[in-house]
């Protein structure tokens, strides 16, 4: 028998797998709000303007979060405005109508205190963060251990999980295979 190797570090493998977009994994779209630990309010995407001043259930605080890679890379889009949360080269949080650029992709990190931090994939080490008044902080002035970058995922008021549970299909020897019909 093989002995299980202990202390195997998969971080390098995961890092390599998360670099590019993945066409194999299933894209997921989730709807939730991001509650800011410092402002005590929710992130809002009001077109080009980003803030953390949204009340629970506010239409601008409802965010559609898309995952499109193996791992935890996400794009965050305002449900009401269809603008994406992005970070420009100066580290400023802005809303953009097109989320295709690398500036609009963030790595979702679940921290030891169970809060979530969002780090820019293009500008490593820069995080989405807000002041006590709900104003965005610039990326270069943020760090993972600051409360300003800690968020909690919450479902909007009155909204229950939208996503249908994934259904597994068991395949046995008795399962009938569906053969493609020949055009004719």
What are the structural domain ranges in the chain?
22-154
Q: Which of 61, 91, 88, 90 is nearest to 77 (CA)?
A: 61
Task: Enter the CATH code of domain 22-154.
Answer: 2.80.10.50
Classified as helix, coil or strand, 145 is coil
Classified as helix, coil or strand, 78 is strand
Average pLDDT value for the chain: 83
DSSP string, 32-57: EEEEETTTSSEEEEETTEEEEEEPTT
Mean pLDDT check: name the lowest of 8-12, 97-101, 140-144, 163-167: 163-167
Reported as a single tens digit per residue, the pLDDT across 111-149 is 999 999 999 999 999 999 999 999 999 999 999 999 999
- Whole-Å CA distances, 19 to 29, 73, 89, 150: 20, 9, 19, 24
Q: Are strands 42-46 and 106-110 parallel, antiparallel or unpaired?
A: unpaired
Per-residue pLDDT at 72? 82
Per-residue pLDDT at 67? 87
The reported pTM is: 0.73
d(CA 172, CA 100): 41
């Amino acid at each position: 028998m093989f002995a299980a190797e202990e202390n195997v570090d998969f971080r390098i493998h995961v890092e390599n797998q998360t670099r590019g977009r993945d066409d194999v994994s299933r894209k997921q779209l989730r709807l939730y709000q991001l509650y800011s630990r410092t402002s005590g309010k929710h992130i809002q995407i009001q077109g080009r303007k980003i803030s953390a001043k949204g009340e629970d259930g506010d239409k601008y605080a409802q965010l559609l979060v898309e995952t499109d890679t193996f791992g935890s890379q996400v794009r965050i889009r305002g449900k009401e405005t269809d603008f994406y949360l992005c970070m420009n080269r100066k580290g400023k949080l802005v809303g953009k109508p097109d989320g295709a650029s690398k500036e609009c992709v963030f790595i979702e990190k679940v921290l030891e205190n169970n809060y979530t931090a969002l780090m820019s994939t293009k500008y490593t080490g820069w995080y989405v963060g807000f002041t006590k008044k709900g104003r965005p902080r610039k990326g270069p002035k943020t760090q993972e251990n600051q409360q300003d970058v800690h968020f909690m995922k919450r479902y909007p008021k009155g909204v229950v999980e939208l996503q249908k549970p994934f259904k597994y299909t068991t395949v046995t020897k008795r399962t009938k295979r569906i053969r493609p019909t020949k055009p004719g």
